[in-house]
Amino acid sequence: MIVVTTPTGQIGRQVLDNILDTEETIRVIARDPSRLSPRVRERVEVVPGSHNDLGVLTEAFAGADSVFWVVPPDPRADSVERHTLSFTRPLCEAVTSRGIRRVVGVSTLGRGVVKNAGHLSAALAMDDLIEATGVSYRALRMPGFMENMLHQVEPIKSQGVFFLAISGDRRIPTCATRDIADVAAELLLDDSWTGQDGVPVLGPEDLSPDDMAKIMSEVLDRPIRFQQVPAGAYQATLLRNGASEAWARGMADMAAAIDRGAYNAEPRTPENSTPTGFRQWCEEVLKPAVQRS
């Protein structure tokens, strides 16, 4: 049996869709089961509740072999690491008590090279706790998601600009969530692997924000430019949008770590270079989103 957390989330719902038509028994943990599609509700077992609740996890993990694990964001959290570990500690207890054999978790790049890196450091602390249980674990090590650009559809359309808190010439990997879901589903359906390891998901190429602006300009058939946001202004924007001071500071610390090369430490190989390129993603996802807005 496979247990899927965040089944209505950006990655979790795609993972679920990838495994739904297999012969595997599937159980999901859903805070709001009404958000599950009728197709999903007909096919899977549903445990209502939050996956930071030990009782919910203990119920959901009964008889299960594998877990897809995501810590959902909470921009109002008073500590990024405390928020992340408030989910991870009950996971570890339930994994141990229920004898879970494998966990596939959404993590980050930067292991062994980052310090005081906000959200990156919190994700890596999560990995350490999970690995300490001894469970077979695959940490999906990802850079930023292409889908993050969808938060900037309005300025892209109205002003022809997008904003990031990294340098315009910093080339980094970026990946599409569809590829993350594909890698996760393949691991969940494979009962042959053991041990603990990281699985980078790097997309097919490294691009700078300036490179992205050029591609977006060509796909959208209009000039698009990139503008770097200073760390202080970035934090202030997040605070105005309702984030806590800790969350905003964590985001700024993460951006600074990325600009120092946190996402560039993992060597690119054919195995960790996933197929969806930024141009394809812009044509299939960003352009329709801009046209709808």
List, for the chain, all residue ranges whose pLDDT scores fall below the cut of 50: none
DSSP assignment of 249-284: HHHHHHHHHHHTTGGGSSPP-TTT--S--HHHHIII
Nearest C-alpha neighbor of 175 from the set 207, 197, 217, 152: 207
Q: What is the pLDDT of residue 230?
A: 95
- pLDDT (tens digit per residue) in 87-136: 999 999 999 999 999 999 999 999 988 889 999 999 999 999 999 999 99
Q: What is the pLDDT of residue 96?
A: 98
Contact 114, 120 (CB under 8 A): yes
Neighbours of 192 (CB within 10 A): 4
Structure tokens at 205: 């190429």
Domain boundaries, the chain: 2-143+175-200
Q: What is the CATH number of domain 2-143+175-200?
A: 3.40.50.720
Residues making up the chain, counted from first to last: 293
Percentage of residues in the chain with pLDDT exceeding 70? Answer: 100
Percentage of residues in the chain with pLDDT exceeding 90? Answer: 98
pTM score of the predicted model: 0.95
Q: What is the pLDDT of residue 293?
A: 85
Instruction: Give the helix/strand (H/E) hosting 55.
Output: helix 54-60
